[in-house]
Amino acid sequence: MNHLSSSPQSGFARRALIALAVSTALLTGCGESEQTPAAQSVAKKPTAETTTPVNQQQSESQRANAMFDEFFTQAVMRSPMYQSYLGIKQDQDKWDDLSEQRAHEDLAITKANLAKLKSLDYQQLDEQTKLSYRLMQQQLEDDINDFKWRHYNYPLNQMYGLHSGVVSLLINQHAITDKKDAEDYLARLNALPALFTQLSENLNLRASKGIIAPRFVYPYVIDDSKNIISGAPFEGEGVSPIYQDFSQKLAATEIAEDEQKALLAELDKAMLGAVGPAYQSLIETVEKLADKADSRDGVWKFPDGDAFYNRALINTTTTALTADEIHAIGLQEVERIHSEMRAIMKSVNFTGSLQDFFKYLREDKRFVYPNTEQGRQQYLTEATAYIDNMKQRLDELFITKPKADLIVKAVEPFREKSAGKAFYQQPSMDGSRPGTYYANLYDMEAMPIYQMEALAYHEGIPGHHMQIAIAQELEGIPKFRKFGRYTAYTEGWGLYSERVPKEIGLYQDPYSDFGRLAMELWRACRLVVDTGIHAKKWTREQGIEYYMNNTPNAQSDAVKMVERHIVMPGQATAYKIGMIKIIELREKAKQTLKDQFDIREFHDVVLAKGPVPLNVLETFVDDYIASKQAPANN
């Protein structure tokens, strides 16, 4: 989702793995055609006057698109973990290389690729390929310029990291359908000590530069790590999540019984001889870092921390907004949303202040399902019902719709204590795995019923699943654009998608509508608190207090969000900035086109070319407006 990484590698694979690690990945599939739509349409209708230049243009565009896919494939094949997320099995017995040597190799490749890109004749490209060229050039230049900041992150934290990421990948991405799959799984387990040695080296290198996560982070990482090596075949009750996953997947195959027994024996060896020692060693490293940690929360504490944070905001929002400007926008939006909330409060005949209403929503048990298995299942059932109902209304809002299915699941027990409130996992490249909306049901009080509807729309339909699956299924654009990651675009769409259903008559329950506003308010507060912590030197406690005073969310929500701000500087500013821009562009089109405006066409303009920076999205909308006006002007 942002510039933070558990690996020093650069390029597309790094960005995608970051996104996956923080739970809203854009890992999408690819179409068969390498031609752009513009090139295809020109090729269909050549004329005597245009045949020669069209052929030249098409040739250079084809060359460019082949180059884009060469760069993308190169990055994918240098990342075994990214391959697994895409469903590619070629290197599924390996982990990524986290070494400094590999980071410098990746930088050299990026510089070489930029030189290759510049060998293209830009003027000979068709318009779609020119856009791809500009986006590719920006990505490569950003990777090169941001290389100096590659250590400015916390590879292990409560939000993401290899301590939990390797387990999540094995469980969710490493399928076992035959003996080779099982052997590759075991090979990965046996390779964990080497991977975690590199990870520890990365952590210690950062520490030598004064980049150490705040003290609160370490108990989360240690607890999650201990959970993974608890239960059979280790000590403790139950079964280790890795052991259980391998055993269950193996049992579901048609592998011969004697071979299964042999593989399970190898599993025992790998767990006790590799997995356990790897985690124990990592825990020791983390405990030593914890002794050096302090309670300073903002990146202002880093060398050149202010410059790093400004760059983080540019990367995240794809705008030139400063920390002060973002802070001010947040304060304005909080005030506006509070006003709309008071109107709903009056409509349900609540007497008292808005803060009294917040307290009522936090404390009244009618707004949460019980913290039981039955309560959790009820939440999943009703969230699925909201999504299923929205599926029936898509024709009112969209022309292009995703083919991939969507399911709703609870976050797995091994990571639910530290994981975020909710997140989305994209469909697999081959369509064998649907998109998944994960709801974290560890603490049911943090998942109030009145926010359920908006959350389902954001993570599912018409939110992340709509945008990501459509991007996955696009044809005629290079793979790197389908797999692109622009947080303000993606999360701006997610937040915008909470609002759109209201415009077609959903949110019939006023408390649900209040929940929609509460979710938007939460994102507005993020602008204030993220910049407060990293630019204005707020403490963790000040950030928590701001959320508690200004939102109805549970204190556990506030704590998790502030701790997320701290370890992911700038990332959470993307949602509201992106939503504001999409609404601004929609209003611009609506006011200009009047009766010609079609919401379905507008959504196609936003979604049908894949993820882009906000400034590029604005050019799309401007072109759409001009194309609709053109017939009337002729």
For the stretch 386-404, pLDDT in tens is 999 999 999 999 999 999 9
282 and 201 Cβ atoms separated by less than 8 Å: no
Q: How far apart are CA 158 and CA 564, in angstroms?
A: 8
Kindly list the distances between the CA atom of residue 559 and the CA atoms of 172, 475, 544, 548, in Å, as whole numbers in the listed order: 28, 42, 6, 9
**Confidence (pTM):** 0.84
Give the DSSP H or E segment for 409: strand 406-410
Q: What is the 3-state secondary structure (H, E, C) of 383-400?
A: HHHHHHHHHCCHHHCCCC
207 and 281 Cβ atoms separated by less than 8 Å: no
pLDDT the model gives residue 420? 75
Q: What angle do CA 126, 127, 131 make, to 5 degrees?
A: 115
Closest CA to 10 of 112, 108, 90, 93: 108
pLDDT the model gives residue 52? 39
438 strand-pairing partners: 409, 423
| Segment 443-456, tens digit of pLDDT | 998 899 999 999 99
Give the DSSP H or E segment for 406: strand 406-410
Query: Structure tokens of 57?
Result: 């243009």
Domain boundaries, the chain: 12-149, 162-212+215-293, 309-576
423 strand-pairing partners: 438
Query: Structure tokens of 303?
Result: 């060398």
Cβ neighbours of 375 (radius 10 Å): 14
pLDDT the model gives residue 57? 54
476 and 31 Cβ atoms separated by less than 8 Å: yes
Question: Mean of the per-residue pLDDT values for the chain?
Answer: 89
Q: What are phi and psi of 58, to 5 degrees?
A: -65, -40
pLDDT the model gives residue 44? 29
pLDDT the model gives residue 278? 98
Q: How far apart are CA 39 and CA 23, in angstroms?
A: 36
Cβ contacts of 240 within 8 Å, gap of 6 or more: 228, 229, 230, 231, 232, 233, 234, 271, 275
599 and 566 Cβ atoms separated by less than 8 Å: no
User: Residue 506 has what DSSP assignment?
Assistant: -
| Segment 445-486, tens digit of pLDDT | 889 999 999 999 999 999 999 999 999 889 889 989 987 889
Cβ contacts of 79 within 8 Å, gap of 6 or more: 9, 13, 14, 17, 96
Establish whether the linkage from the previous residue to 462 is cis, with ω within 30° of 0.
Answer: yes
33 and 476 Cβ atoms separated by less than 8 Å: yes
pLDDT the model gives residue 106? 97
Closest CA to 169 of 189, 154, 141, 155: 189
